[in-house]
């Protein structure tokens, strides 16, 4: 299969994968599947999905390196923006429907309830990443600063997991699983960074030199961030 077609297919697969939780929610809505408490079901599902997708975003770089598929890196933006969209919807439902008649109480909750404070902080930190996701912004900031800024995701995702963990009434197993996966992904990065001979950033090779067999053991870091 030629690369252009393959890239298009992968692109649509990623897009479909990211959109499917939303389609699923709509399907549940039409088939009476949102439980007796649909607002809560929707808010929780959107939060879960947003976190899943952001975690998948965190997994792309390790996957690209381990599988030696550098072209996967390009999907981080799509995945990240989808994650951000779910979190936006999650927050919008919470503020616009769940708390709609009690906004003064909402502000108190943001200050007083750690899980809401933390969730809100994570959301606010996501905003600059979404805003600077365009090619133009990468150019304007320069790869170095852009990468530095986008390393915020290493803080944001754990905050999301803590937000989830603090919300759970009793059964902490699901957020702990999220946490374990995130810890593994971050640990992989820490180890990679500390590993000898891997500290110096390498330039990405021109496209024609890219077939897997000749790809460098460490795929370029320049402009790709961590």
Partner 1 sequence: MIRNAPDLRDCDVTDRNLYLRRREFIGAAAAGAGLGLLGAGAARAALPPARKSPFSTDEKLTPKKDITSYNNFYEFGVDKGDPERYAGRLTTKPWTVTVDGLCAKPSKFYVEDLIKHFPLEERIYRMRCVEAWSMVIPWTGFPLASLLKAVEPTSKAKFVAFETVLRPAEMPGQRQPILDWPYKEGLRLDEAMNPLTLVTVGLYGDVLPNQDGAPIRIVTPWKYGFKSAKSIVRISLVDRQPPTAWNLANASEYGFYSNVNPEVNHPRWSQATERRIGELFRRKTLPFNGYGEQVASLYKGMDLRRYY
Q: Interface with partner 1 by CB under 8 A: which residues?
A: 35-37, 39-40, 97-102, 105, 108-109, 113-115, 166-167, 169-171
23 vs 102 by CB, closer to partner 1: 102
List the structure tokens of 205: 């090779």
Name the minimum Å distance from CB 55 to partner 1. Answer: 21
Quote the least distance from Cβ 40 to partner 1, whole Å: 7
Q: Tell me how many degrees the CA angle 94-95-98 measures, rounded to the nearest 5.
A: 50
Whose Cβ is closer to partner 1: residue 105's or residue 191's?
105
Distance CA 133, CA 79 (A): 11
Nearest CA-CA partner of 221 in 26, 178, 210, 205:
205
Min separation Cβ 171 and partner 1, Å: 4
Give 3-6's long-range contacts (Cβ < 8 A, gap of 24+).
none
| Minimum CB distance to partner 1 smaller for 109 or for 210 | 109
Instruction: Give the nearest distance from C-beta 184 to partner 1 in angstroms.
Output: 24
Return the number of the residue (97 or 191) whose C-beta is nearest partner 1. Answer: 97
Q: How many CA atoms lie within 13 A of 52 on its CB side?
A: 14
């Amino acid at each position: 299969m030629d690369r252009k077609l393959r890239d298009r297919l992968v692109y649509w697969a990623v897009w479909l994968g990211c959109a499917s939780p939303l389609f699923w929610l709509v399907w549940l809505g039409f088939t009476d599947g949102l439980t007796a408490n649909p607002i809560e079901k929707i808010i929780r599902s959107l939060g879960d999905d947003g976190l899943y997708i952001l975690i998948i975003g965190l997994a792309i770089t390790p996957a690209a390196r381990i599988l030696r598929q550098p072209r996967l890196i390009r999907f981080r933006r799509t995945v990240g923006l989808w994650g951000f969209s779910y979190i936006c919807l999650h927050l919008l439902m919470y503020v616009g429907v769940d708390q709609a008649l009690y906004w003064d109480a909402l502000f108190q909750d943001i200050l007083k309830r750690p899980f809401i404070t933390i969730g809100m902080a994570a959301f606010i930190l996501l905003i600059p990443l979404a805003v600077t996701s365009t090619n133009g912004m990468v150019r304007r900031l320069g790869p170095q600063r852009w990468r530095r800024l986008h390393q915020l995701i290493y803080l944001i995702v754990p905050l999301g997991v803590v937000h989830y963990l603090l919300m759970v009434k009793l059964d902490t197993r699901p957020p702990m699983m999220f946490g374990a996966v995130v810890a593994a992904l971050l640990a992989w990065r820490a180890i990679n960074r500390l590993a000898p001979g891997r500290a110096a950033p390498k330039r990405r090779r021109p496209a024609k030199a890219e077939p897997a067999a000749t790809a460098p053991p460490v795929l370029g870091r320049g402009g790709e961030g961590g």
